């Protein structure tokens, strides 16, 4: 593979969207999203961290001091970000569900019951120069805990980690892009 400075990516900006599991998923980097996908608003300037990791165990044999093979015993993937807005979309997203009630003169948020698992489809869009990138995830759920500082001197952020869930026979995530460095015929 040749060195290609144009293939060094900087994700200049982007957006994250969630929808109920089962919502029609996009199949290219630029098609309009189904109306059920709702944006999560501002994300901290650190952007989104995408992590995909595999746990491997060595297979040892009597005849070798070194493992002769490794087997994958677990695979985990997640998106991690800090939501900057507190609203009817982000609070239920960060806390894994719940409900908001309009009481005419005020609004009331009630968190979900402890045993509720709020699954959502997720799309992460970003651009590099004029090229589109789209990470499509059929199933996610909030993973981790919420800790936010309510203070006079700084904004109160909503940290969010979305764990990627698997479905037999379905890719856990798919990346679509218009960037030419992915063209196998080039």
DSSP letter string, 166-185: PBTTB-S-EEEE--GGG-TT
For residue 49, the enclosing domain spans 12-21+38-181
- pLDDT score for 184: 85
In a domain, 3, yes or no: no
Q: Label residue 162 by pLDDT band (50, 70, 90).
A: very high
Cα 120 from chain centre: 10
pLDDT one-digit tens code per residue, 8-42:
888 888 999 999 999 999 999 999 999 999 999 99
What is the arithmetic mean of pLDDT over 86-96?
95
Asked which of 35-39, 110-114, 179-183 is least confident by mean pLDDT, the reply is 179-183
Please state whether beta strands 13-20 and 38-39 pair in parallel, antiparallel, or not at all (unpaired).
antiparallel
In a domain, 1, yes or no: no
In a domain, 55, yes or no: yes
pTM for the complete prediction?
0.89
Name the token pair of 163.
Answer: 């764990």
How high does pLDDT run on average in the chain? 93
pLDDT one-digit tens code per residue, 128-161:
888 999 999 999 999 988 889 999 999 999 999 9
- Indicate the number of domains in the chain: 1
In a domain, 44, yes or no: yes
């Amino acid at each position: 593979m040749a060195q290609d400075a144009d293939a060094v990516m900087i994700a200049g900006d982007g957006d994250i969207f969630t929808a109920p599991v089962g919502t029609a998923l996009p199949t290219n980097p630029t098609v309009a999203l189904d109306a059920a996908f709702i944006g999560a608003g501002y994300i901290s300037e650190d952007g989104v961290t995408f992590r995909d990791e595999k746990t491997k165990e060595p297979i040892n044999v009597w005849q070798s001091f070194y493992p002769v093979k490794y087997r994958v015993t677990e695979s985990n993937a997640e998106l991690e970000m800090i939501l900057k807005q507190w609203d009817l979309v982000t609070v239920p997203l960060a806390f894994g569900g719940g409900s908001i009630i309009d009481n005419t003169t005020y609004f009331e948020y009630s968190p979900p019951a402890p045993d509720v698992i709020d699954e959502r489809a997720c799309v992460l869009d970003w651009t590099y120069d004029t090229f589109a990138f789209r990470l499509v995830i059929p199933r996610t759920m909030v993973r981790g805990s919420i800790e936010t500082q309510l203070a006079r001197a700084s904004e109160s952020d909503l940290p969010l980690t979305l764990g990627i869930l698997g479905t037999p026979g379905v890719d856990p995530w798919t990346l679509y892009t218009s960037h030419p460095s992915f063209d196998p015929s080039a």
